[in-house]
């Protein structure tokens, strides 16, 4: 008699919708005008974590659409040029999707280096677009104060990849 094995099915609701809603909530919370000791809360681009993780977890057609929506949300929330963060997030998604075979199987420092390179590339592209659009470049200090907290979100990247990578045994 063949023994049945439990299959842990992880659908798009668990690895796309719930993290996207958590990212929106965290962005709204960190966007509140709260000051502690004269310092404001950091405003990292939290969807960058999802743009890096989703193509490594499982490429899908839903993830880019959700990333586009998250980018539009960031543009409207931060009152920036419409489409700026959608383009930046989609560029990270596409870069990681094409480099997926190079990144897969690596852990720790190598994966952080890829995350940092993708994040810095997205911020550079956003910086150049804003500088060309407005005619003068934004302040470097404010850029650095947004890049550093975004880079410090790497433990969330690592947690998502460990949590959802190979979580559906049907794809092994």
Is 4 a domain residue? no
What digits encode the pLDDT tens for the residues 84-134?
999 999 999 999 999 999 998 888 899 999 999 999 999 999 999 999 999
pLDDT at position 25 is 97
Is residue 92, in this structure, part of any structural domain at all? yes
Q: What is the pLDDT of residues 36-53, one digit of tens each?
A: 888 888 899 999 999 999
Question: Nearest Cα to 56, choosing from 107, 17, 122, 123?
Answer: 107
In a domain, 136, yes or no: yes
User: Given its phi and psi angles, is residue 83 left (phi above 0), alpha (psi -120 to 50 degrees) or beta?
Assistant: left
CA–CA distance, 124 with 111 (Å, rounded to integer): 20
Domain tally, the chain: 1
As a whole-number percent, the residues of the chain with pLDDT over 90 amount to 68
Instruction: Locate 64 and state its tokens.
Output: 């880019």
Stronger pLDDT, 12 or 41, i.e. the higher one: 41
pLDDT at residue 167 tops 80:
no
Q: Which domain holds residue 129?
A: 12-166
| Residue 3 falls inside a structural domain | no
Q: What span, in angstroms and rounded, lies between the C-alpha atoms of 121 and 18?
A: 27
Sign of the dihedral defined by the CA atoms of residues 154, 53, 117, 149, in that order = negative
Q: Is pLDDT larger for residue 172 or for residue 166?
A: 166
Q: Is residue 158 part of a domain?
A: yes
28 located within any domain: yes
What's the average model confidence in pLDDT over 134-150? Answer: 93
Considering the entire predicted model, what is its pTM?
0.88
Q: Is there a domain that residue 7 lies in?
A: no
pLDDT of residue 8 exceeding 80: no
Has residue 70 been placed in a domain? yes
């Amino acid at each position: 008699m063949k023994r049945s094995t439990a299959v842990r099915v992880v659908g798009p609701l668990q690895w796309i919708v719930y993290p996207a809603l958590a990212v929106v909530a965290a962005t709204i919370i960190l966007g509140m005008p709260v000051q502690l000791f004269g310092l404001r809360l950091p405003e990292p681009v939290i969807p960058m974590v999802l743009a890096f993780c989703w193509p490594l977890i499982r490429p899908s057609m839903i993830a880019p659409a959700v990333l586009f929506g998250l980018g539009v949300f960031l543009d409207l929330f931060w009152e920036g040029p419409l489409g700026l963060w959608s383009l930046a997030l989609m560029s990270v998604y596409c870069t990681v999707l094409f480099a997926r075979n190079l990144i897969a199987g690596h852990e720790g420092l190598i994966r952080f280096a890829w995350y940092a390179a993708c994040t810095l590339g997205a911020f550079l592209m956003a910086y150049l677009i804003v500088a060309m659009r407005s005619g003068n470049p934004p302040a470097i200090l404010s850029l650095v104060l947004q890049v550093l907290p975004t880079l410090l979100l790497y433990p969330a990247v690592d947690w998502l990849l460990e949590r959802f990578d190979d979580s559906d045994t049907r794809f092994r």
